[in-house]
Chain A
Amino acid sequence: MRRIVCANPSLFLVVGLLVVWQVVFWLVGRNALLPPYETMLYLARLLQTARFWGHIEETGIAFILALIISVVAGLAIGLGLGMNRVAAEVFEPFLLAGNSVPKIALYPIVLLIFGIGMPAKIAFGAIHGVVPVAIFALTACNNVPPILFRTAAAMRLSRWDTIRSVLLPAALPDIFSGIRIGFSLTLIGTILGEMFGSQRGLGFLLMTAIGLQNIQVIMAVTLLLVLVAATVNTLLLLQDRRLRNPGGPSR
């Protein structure tokens, strides 16, 4: 038993969660939850309607743009600070504090600046994602052994070549972890952004369903979000491990 569980923990985890879900459903009853099977069925039905795909498309576009902004801006900030010791020391506390702030409190400001619509969603998603990407990139730079930079100096590499062929390869695993976490947070930020002052998207769907107490929609959309987030995160995690452990076993 032990060996079987340890061989594919994810499979058993999914089965275990489904069992817990079903048991909780039996405990709290039909007016609060849907059982797993019916939720999947309802989600499958939703996925056959064009309207639902319109919401997915809206969220997807906002999310992808927000993710691009998060990664590009985060790497620029993180690597920029990582290359400059004084700047890193000055700005690092701001980055860390930015991580502990409830960004949802900033949402009204985002709405006032960008107005209601796509730009506000993208900005709010990017606000969530950019900080972890920057923090991880900065830490990655600090963790590169100094001897590598001395080697680069000894070989008279230009600044650009040092970044390209020394800093980036050495810092890549940590940078990738940051992007993985930035991915999750950007998704959360985009969905949150759609929950207020928005007319389309999965977050809007969730918010209207809350108002109508439409449990079917809430559960189906939540399931879809969890499935997408967990799947992509697992794939990124596998790649992450491969980067950290090149040539080793892929697990």
Chain B
Amino acid sequence: MRIVLYRLLAVLLPLALLEILCRVQIIKPLTLPAPSRIVLGLWMVIESGTFNAAILKTLTNVGLAAVLSVVAGIVAGAAIHRASVLRALLEPLFSAYYAIPIYAFYPLLIIVFGLGDVPQVLIGFMLAVVSMIVSTLAGLDSVPPVLGKTARVMQLGPVATMRSLTLPYAAPYLFTGVKLAVAYAFIGVIGAEFIMSGTGLGYEIRFAYDNLDNNIMYPLILLILLIAVAINMSLDHWERLLRARRGRT
């Protein structure tokens, strides 16, 4: 309980300080409007509904990228787990993958697929899928050999073994993968929209910045932060529930 109080203070005190600094004009409104104004602006942005289409577009693309990368990541992870040569080959790629600036491929994707939703979803997918594959591999590695023996005793085929035995056992690892995949999909899509696109939240922020429209830019930035943190916290919560249930049985 005391921890929660401290956390609240850790958020509220800096905010209050910012508010004061902005109100007495030490921080100019052109740099940062007072936090209370930003929250009010966010309310107005949501109420007026001007950006509903952009919000919907971004969330749809993030959802697409996340679902695609989770499905593809689990399938690819399960396949790579069985093919040991392929795994030895890809292992160095996985460990170096997040050192590669994925956004650098965005221009090429635009040239190949045109300036639509496809390059954005693909960037989100490319960022997310590898963490899902790696989590799937880690999860499958954690399955004790005795379960494999059980599957053979029950005469399950490879797909049935995956479905009813190994994947459920690996569920906590898979969930960690899902959590990372959702976060990366979000980062990828917003980044791509920001770099170059015609719709979406990232694009609207860029547009507002180019027009020095702080009354729109800051509320939208706040909205993105809130969405990202809310998704992250709820997935975190589920993950903890999942692990706690595992711990009991």
Contacts and interface: CB of A to CB of B under 8 A. Distances in A.
Contacts of B101: 187-188, 191-192, 222, 225-226, 229
A94 interface: yes
Task: Point out which of B7, B107, B194, B220 has the most chain A C-beta atoms below 10 A from its C-beta.
Answer: B107
Nearest to B186: A102
A97 B232 contact: yes
A94 B10 contact: yes
B44 interface: no
A234 B103 contact: no
Interface residues on B, range: 35 or more
B190 A2 contact: no
Interface string B74-117: 00000000001100111111011011111111011011100000
B196 A210 contact: yes
Nearest to A207: B195
Interface string A172-196: 0000000001011101100110011
A108 B98 CA distance: 24
Interface residues of A, number: 64
Contact of B104 (A86, A221, A232): A221
A97 B95 contact: no
Contact of A104 (B98, B191, B218): B191
B141 interface: no
Given A91-B10, A96-B232, A100-B231, A206 B104 contact: yes
B46 interface: no
B99 A232 contact: yes
Contacts of A102: 186-187, 190-191, 202, 224, 228
Contacts of A17: 93
B93 A13 contact: yes
Contacts of A109: 32, 218, 221
Interface string A19-42: 000000000100111000000000
Contacts of B89: 5, 9, 12-13, 16
A51 B218 CA distance: 37
B225 A101 contact: yes
Contact of B31 (A112, A191, A221): A112
A233 B228 contact: no
A71 B88 CA distance: 32
A89 B3 contact: yes
Interface in A186-236: 187-188, 191-192, 195-196, 206-207, 209-210, 213, 215, 218-219, 221-222, 225-226, 229-230, 232-234
A93 interface: yes
Nearest to A28: B112
B217 interface: yes
A209 B108 CA distance: 11
Nearest to A7: B88
10 contacts: A5-B88, A12-B89, A94-B10, A100-B231, A102-B190, A183-B99, A188-B103, A196-B206, A225-B100, A225-B101
